[in-house]
Amino acid sequence: MTARSLQRQIHVACRELGLDSDARHDLQLVACGKASMRDMDEADLQAVVRHLKARGWDGGSAPRNKGRYKPAPRADLRLVHKLWTLLGQAGALRDPSRAGLNAFIRSRYEGVWQSVPIDVDALRDAGQISQVINALKDWCARAGVELTR
């Protein structure tokens, strides 16, 4: 794989993981000791890719939709996404991506609900969605995120 294709792969991975350029530079510094891709050789770039895969990036095996998701069909699910976005913008999340939201729901409700869907938009039970909304609202309150109506 060429250096340029590895650089592209790193940019795609960071976008899919919800990392901005500052976070990417920090990650690169941790992975290979160099913050700029200009200073890296192929071995350094491959180390960064390995580091991104260790952080949960799937390596691009999932079908692509160029980062654009259809809005959730239900208003309550759109509220879940909005609250998650607000928490991410406030810096309260380790992983502000959709995968992070799904991981949060799994970790929080796996032992409580009979089954946890693989994706938040697959939730259909209004009670479960309400539990997620209340948990996210509580998190927003703790993080100092203002919710406007």
Convert the pLDDT of each residue in 67-93 to its tens digit.
Answer: 555 666 688 888 999 999 999 998 999
131 pLDDT higher than 90: yes
pLDDT in tens, 41-52: 999 999 999 888
3-state secondary structure of 135: helix
Q: How far apart are CA 78 and CA 86, in angstroms?
A: 12
pLDDT of residue 73: 67
Can you read off the two tokens belonging to residue 4? 């340029």
Confidence class of residue 124 from pLDDT cuts 50, 70 and 90?
A: confident
Q: What is the pLDDT of residue 75?
A: 87
pLDDT band at 114 (very low <50, low <70, confident <90, very high): confident
User: Which one, of 117, 108, 112, 97, lies nearest residue 135 by Cα?
Assistant: 108
**Token code pair at residue 101:** 């939201």
Whole-model pTM? 0.53
